[in-house]
Amino acid sequence: MSKVSIIIINYNTFTLTSDCIRSVIAQSKEVAFEIILVDNASTQCNADEFLKEFPMVKLIKSEVNGGFASGNNLGIKKATGDYILLLNSDTILAEDSIGKCIDFLHQQKDIGVLGCRMTFPDGRVQYTARKFRSISWELLDLFRFIPLLMPYTQKAKLMLGKYFRHDEVMEADWINGAFFLFPRHVVEELPNKKLDDRFFMYGEDQLWCEQIKNLGYRNIFYAGTTIIHINSGSTDISKQLNLRKIMMKHELEIVANRKGKGLYYYVFKMIYVSKEATRNFIKSVAFKLTGRLIR
């Protein structure tokens, strides 16, 4: 039986992380697994507390908080499984999602990364299967009446994200890193044989998927199982806007890596930054008027 190494990063989320680990143990009955818990120098709780309830967990205590990618690379070094699953600490398994995804991977040998369907706790679907940003994608998203006029199948494959119902298996450019499953040998083929850790947080999943796609693998969204991803985020409007600025910066860096910094990049940057700046302004005004954040 193939074994999967489940890597969970903890940073001051003791309760969330414990709930996640409990759900993995309770639901993963049809697959051999190990749990590698990387504590990124938490300050609110002694990481050894995890071992009182979960003595089987491999605990790695990092002396510094190096970010999401760095923490996962620490976990990968200790992994012994045929597959690696990067699992966010704010996820809950309601069924044997890991086993189902492993079974699907066995049938599809050219998959580089597999992600699964995610919902918020209230059941709303999260848009986790994505296309790389491009000039054409940005323009279609800006003038969204155009994709709305397309047949659903065409629109879903062309745009993904919020234009896709996330109710069927679909090849994507990139998959959300909250549930990020890949064969171990894939990471051995990446530059430096590790996940790219240039970003402290946000955008790294897109970066990894691009590099894995460039190796000739497919990145697949699998709708055959669903997990809960709490993903509550901050309700502080200033933190929200600052986060979006970081994400924009990383998006531009990723596009520059893909396309170079020629004419294409600067046209894309003009469209993308203008669109996102306008949306951020609208979010800020709406928050001031209503006290509610527009997601």
> 129-130 and 174-175: which strand pairing?
antiparallel
CA dihedral (236, 239, 245, 247) in degrees, to 10, reads -90
pLDDT in tens, 224-236: 999 999 986 544 5
- Residue 60 shares a structural domain with residue 183: yes
- Residue 75 shares a structural domain with residue 218: yes
> Does residue 200 have a pLDDT over 90?
no
pLDDT in tens, 32-64: 999 999 999 999 889 999 999 999 999 999 989
Check: CB of residue 1 under 8 Å from CB of residue 66: no
- CATH assignment of the domain containing 214: 3.90.550.10
Mean pLDDT lowest among 8-12, 135-139, 238-242? 238-242
- Tell me which long-range contacts 244-249 makes (C-beta under 8 A, separation of at least 24): 244/276, 244/280, 246/201, 246/202, 247/202, 247/203, 248/272, 248/273, 248/276
Within a domain: 147: no
- Residue 65 shares a structural domain with residue 200: yes
- Residue 203 shares a structural domain with residue 285: no
Residue 242 — pLDDT band, cuts 50, 70, 90? confident
User: In terms of residue numbers, what domain contains 285?
Assistant: 237-290
Mean predicted confidence (pLDDT) in 158-187: 96
Axis-axis angle for helices 263-290, 237-259 (nearest 10): 170
Mean predicted confidence (pLDDT) in 257-266: 94
Question: Last residue of a domain, which of 185, 206, 229?
Answer: 229
Could you say which DSSP state residue 161 is in? G
Mean pLDDT lowest among 157-166, 179-188, 242-251? 242-251
pTM above 0.95, yes or no: no
> Does residue 212 have a pLDDT over 50?
yes
pLDDT of res. 234: 44
* Interacting residues of 55 by C-beta distance below 8 A, sequence separation 6+: none
Residue 108 — pLDDT band, cuts 50, 70, 90? confident
pLDDT of res. 49: 94
> 218-229 and 174-175: which strand pairing?
unpaired
Distance CA 47, CA 37 (A): 9
Could you say which DSSP state residue 206 is in? H
pLDDT of res. 66: 87
